[in-house]
Structure formats: C-alpha cells, structure tokens
Structure 1
Amino acid sequence: MPKTLTWLTPFSWLTLVALAGLGLGGCKILPTPVAQSENSASAFNPDKMVEDIWAPKVIPYLRQKAGPFAEVHALAKTDPAAAGAKYGNPRKQANSPWTFAVRVEGKIVAANTQSRAATMDVDVDGDDKADARVQIGPAIRGTALRDSLDFVQFNDFTNQIDFAQFGKAFNAYAGKTVLSKLPREALEGRTAKVIGAYTIEGGQDLPLVTPAEAEIGPKP
C-alpha cells in the first residue's frame, strides 16, 4: 500500500522558517584566539627592531670593527676581499659589494647643507683635500649601516621588501638620534669625528660614509 504523504499547510511552513531564523540569529561568529595570535606574530616593525639592537649590539660592533678611514680605504682599493674580511661583513650576500666599518677623523673642508641629503667633506690626512664625504641628512642614501653588520642576514627576513625597510630604519634612527643634533652652520674648518660605514661604488666623487656616531668640534 503506498505511503500517505503529509502536506504542510502554509502556516506550518511559516512556523518552520521562523524557528530556523531564531536558531541562526542566536549564533555569533567570533575571531579565534589562534587567529589573533597569528596576526600579532606577523607584525613587522623595523623601526622598533633597530631601536632594540642599536645601543646593545650595533654601536659596540661598529666601534670594535671600524678602522681608520685612510687605512681601510687604501686596502679596499687594492684588495677589497682582504679589507672586507678585516673591516667588513664576511657574511654578506655573495653578489653584494663589500661594506666597510670606518672611523673618519679630520677637518671639514666643505659642506652642503642646502639639500635634504646634506653632507660634509672631511680631510683625514691634513692635505686640505677631502678624503671622505659624510652624510648628515636628514635624507640618507644607501644601506651601509645595515650591510656592515655580520649579525644581520637577508635570510632572516620574510622577503626583500622587509629587508629593504630594515635598512631604511637604520638611516632613520641614526638621523633622529645622532645627525639631527649636529650643527649645520659654519662647518668648514671644524673638526669631525665619525664612526660609520661605507660601500665602494663606481661613479662616486668621494667615498660616502653613513654615520652611526658623529661629533663636530667648535668653530676655529
């Protein structure tokens, strides 16, 4: 015998729909603690990273590694690998140029403070001719400070963008904490003492040094 089909009245259909709506309405979608934790862990703050390592690691490393500019540059021009092993970062990327830690001490013989990428030219051997050009910002070119450190490696970063931002963060921190405090007027004739880093690159008039520490003496 065929089964009897039970037909729902329109009222019954409405009742079922209402009950289903009540059930769904009582549900809430909440973020899980795991998702929140992953978002926090993935946050990348290069400025904070540089601030955290600047005093305990960056400055002591550069003070220990840096050599007198004239000595470093003479060796770098004749044997970059030997200079790099002594004054540079031996763990650099294979295709990257050597970056050297240096001490620049001498007389300021010229300065360009009209540009945001301000510089001062320093004579280190007493012949009244510039031997090194020191960046004093606020705009700073290159990533010499980052690249001189043997405890900073590209493989420690998620991608090239993060690595580049980390390099810029060194310049920003040096600019904010060191270079912004330097005098800008009547620099010629004053003495300068700098600890920083530079990379030999083609087409430069003078080696371009990025300071991590800098001091300018009084007017003569």
Structure 2
Amino acid sequence: MPNKPTCSILAAPILVAMVGISLTACKILPTPSGENGGNAPAFNADKMVGDIWAAKVVPYLQQKAGSFPEVHALAKADPAAAGAKYGNPKKQANSPWTFAVRLEGKVVAANTQSRAATMDVDADGDGKADARVQIGPAMRGTALRDSLDFIQFNDFTNQIDFAQFGKAFNIHADKTVLSKLPREALEGRSVRIVGAYVMGSGQDLPLVTPAEAEIGPKP
C-alpha cells in the first residue's frame, strides 16, 4: 500500500511562510494494512468446508439422518413433517426440502463410465432401485449444503459465494470419501451411505449425495 504523510495541508498564506518547516516536520509512515492490503480475507469455499467437515458436517448428518425408506415414505405423504424431522427447517421458504438419510441396500445398476458416476440401490429388497447415489467425481446439486441447519444464505456476502460453498461440499466429499470407492463390478455389492437428497418430482429416482459411503466386497 502507498505511504502517506502524517502532516496536514495548511491554509495557503501560512503554507507559503512555513513551507520549510512544514516539509521538514513531515514523516512518511506506512499505511496500516493486513495480509490482503487492508481488505477482508479472500473467500475460500474449499477451506471453509474442510474446516467444518469432520467437526460439524458429518456428525450433524449422522445425528439427523433417518432410514431412507422411512424418510422417503414420509416425504411423499407429508413433506413438511418429513422436513421438520429429517430436513432443514431454516431453509429458504421457496426452496425444496432436503433430507438427511441413511441408505443401506444392494447395488442393482451402476454407471461408472461418466464423470458423473452413479449407482442405483435397492433399499427394500425387492430387486428394484429405490435411490440413485452420486459417486463422482462430478456431482449435481447442493444437497449436502442445503441439509445443514447451521448454514444460511444470509451468512454469505452474495449468491456467488453461496453457490461456490455448495459446490465445495461435493468436491470435498469426492476427495475424502468417494474417490476411494471401488468402481468395478459394483452390481450385487452391499452399500451403506450417509448423505442427503432433495425432494424431486417423484418421477426420477431420489438422487443421494453421500458424506459417508461404504461398499462391501464382491458377492
């Protein structure tokens, strides 16, 4: 940052008379500044998520999550009741409900050729898929962010920061959890997921974004 003199500008008649004294009396001092030149620290969504992931995010989801079949049945019958129990009651009024869930079952189909890889899970034993689980590295939506009641839009400077923060959850989940999962011969394996999904139209499989994921051995 530029330096600035500590002396002030005097009235013109006095300045003429005192110019010599005035100049010799001035000292150049550095303008106080922080690490970013006096500005607020740069927004870093990835660091923010990393700082709260193990301490707050995962414990919250573990405590809040309900069994997927139970949550999904209640969500279809009474979304508000499901939201009050398994969702984020502090969500924005016009936003859909996002539910924290525990999903256990068997993989009945998998798509690992795409960067937006998924696996379809049968949670009730009827051999049909009940939910689709994102396993990355590319993932849609901001379900993990939106399921947390201690994170609000008004906590952020603008919508861009809030959106980046939502994407950072997906990036962190992929880096710390999903990238370590097997990708071959997934069908028939057992899975255990703790994560979140957004209530959709009812026509598509619920799309679950994991914060924790385990895949069992080949059958």
What TM-score comes out, normalization by structure 2 length? 0.85
Quick check: 2:32–2:38 contact (8 Å CA) kept in 1?
Answer: no
Partner of 1:186: 185
In the superposition, relative to structure 1, how do residues 33 and 66 fare at CA in structure 2: closer, same or farther (>3 Å)?
same
**Higher percent of residues as helix:** 1
Q: CA, structure 1 residues 186+197, in 2 after alignment: closer, same or farther (shift >3 Å)?
A: same
| CA distance 1:33–1:121, shift in 2 (3 Å) | same
1:57 is matched with 56
What is the distance in 1 between the residues matched to 2:157 and 2:169? 18
CA deviations on 1:98-143 (whole Å, 9 max, x unpaired) are: 0000000000000000110000000010000000000000001000
- 1:103 is matched with 102
Matched, 1:125 2:124: yes
**SS of equivalent residue, structure 1 residue 173:** helix
The aligned counterpart of 2:162 is: 163
Q: Name the TM-score, length of structure 1 as normaliser.
A: 0.84
* Alignment of structure 1 residues 1-220 onto 2, 5 Å: 31-33=31-33, 36=36, 38-39=38-39, 41-202=40-201, 205-220=204-219
What is the alpha-carbon distance in structure 2 between the residues aligned to residue 207 and residue 215 of structure 1? Answer: 19
SS at match of 1:129: coil
Partner of 2:88, secondary structure, is coil
What is the one-letter code of the residue matched to 1:67?
G
Q: Per-residue displacement from partner, 1:23-63 (whole Å, max 9, x unpaired)?
A: 8xxx9795532694632x24111100000000010000000
Gaps of 5+ in 2: 1-22
RMSD: 2.2
For 2:37 and 2:85, locate their aligned partners in 1 and report how far apart those are by CA, in whole Å.
43
Distance 1:142 1:59, change over 3 A: same
Distance in 1 between the 2:158 and 2:48 partners? 16
Q: CA deviation at 1:201?
A: 1.8
Q: In 1, are the aligned partners of 2:122 and 2:131 still within 8 Å (CA)?
A: yes
2-side partners of 1:155 and 1:118: how far apart? 32
